[in-house]
Amino acid sequence: MSIGRFSKNNTTDCAEDERKGKQAGMPFDKNRAISRFGSTIDAMAIRPIIRMGHPTLRRPARPLGLEEIGNDATQQLLTDMRDTLRDAGGIGLAAPQIDAAVRLAIIEIPGGSSRYGNLERMPFTVFINPDIQVLNPARAGFWEGCLSVPGLRGFVERPQHVKVAFTNRCGKAEELELSGFQATVVQHELDHLDGKLFIDRLADSARLAFEDEYQRYLEQPSP
């Protein structure tokens, strides 16, 4: 998902290291990316983001086996996704968007002032084989954009209180309760794992616009 551009050390306990990093508000250090299995991961790898029309974006992705999560290929994929997301200036990316048809997504929201108002920060979070549950069906709408649908925005209404059960990058089960904009972002990203795009969620096709026209005619000032 996009909202406009925003201008590891070696460890034997990957989950604990990830948790401490989140609590300290420290981003993953791409120059020291080392998996818990002792393999050094390449410092930087930006992959092409495929666009609407590519068949991978319309196919349900396959789950990752537990034995796959810790292997070098998956850890490298995660590093590539993080670097690709940050290079593109987005806040979320699903593996199918870089033509890897597995159930894996990442989200990183810097927080602060944005076109959506003042956003709560969400540190870099990895969702493997996620399962989402709606806790409250009450909906709110946002003008969503997508790195795989560049230049377009659409008004999509989604439930604003959800719970996500998933496996983290260390192979451990986690649950996360999200509300508001974060709930919208996670639903947008997890849609990619089922072959869906935000344009499929439009209730009114008249509320789909090119970016320039959105900014000129439709964008409301941030509160």
How confident is residue 1, by pLDDT bands cut at 50, 70 and 90?
Answer: confident
Q: Write out pLDDT tens, residues 114-171.
A: 777 788 999 999 999 999 999 999 999 999 999 999 999 999 999 999 999 999 999 9
Q: Write out pLDDT tens, residues 19-53.
A: 544 443 434 333 333 232 223 344 569 999 999 99
Average predicted confidence (pLDDT) for the chain: 85
Q: Provide the pLDDT for residue 111.
A: 84
Q: Provide the pLDDT for residue 3.
A: 62
Task: Report the share of the chain in percent with pLDDT over 90.
Answer: 74
Q: How far apart are CA 217 and CA 190, in angstroms?
A: 30
Query: Hey, what long-range contacts does 73-76 have (CB within 8 A, 24 or more apart)?
Result: 74/104, 75/35, 75/37, 75/39, 75/41, 75/169, 76/41, 76/42, 76/45
pLDDT over threshold 60, residue 8: no
In the chain, where are the structural domains located? 14-218
Rounded to an integer, the average pLDDT of 50-76 is: 97
Q: Provide the pLDDT for residue 115.
A: 73
Largest interatomic CA distance in the chain? 53
Q: Provide the pLDDT for residue 190.
A: 98
Q: Which residues are catalytic?
A: 189
Task: Report the share of the chain in percent with pLDDT over 70.
Answer: 79
CATH annotation of 14-218? 3.90.45.10
Q: Write out pLDDT tens, residues 167-214.
A: 999 999 999 999 999 999 999 999 999 999 999 999 999 999 999 999
Strand partners, 154: 144, 208
Return all residues near 220 (Cβ < 8 A) that are at least 6 apart: none
Q: Among 2, 97, 103, 104, which residue's Cα sits nearest to residue 58?
A: 97
Provide the whole-model pTM: 0.82
How confident is residue 222, by pLDDT bands cut at 50, 70 and 90?
Answer: low
Radius of gyration, alpha carbons of the chain: 17
Return all residues near 65 (Cβ < 8 A) that are at least 6 apart: none
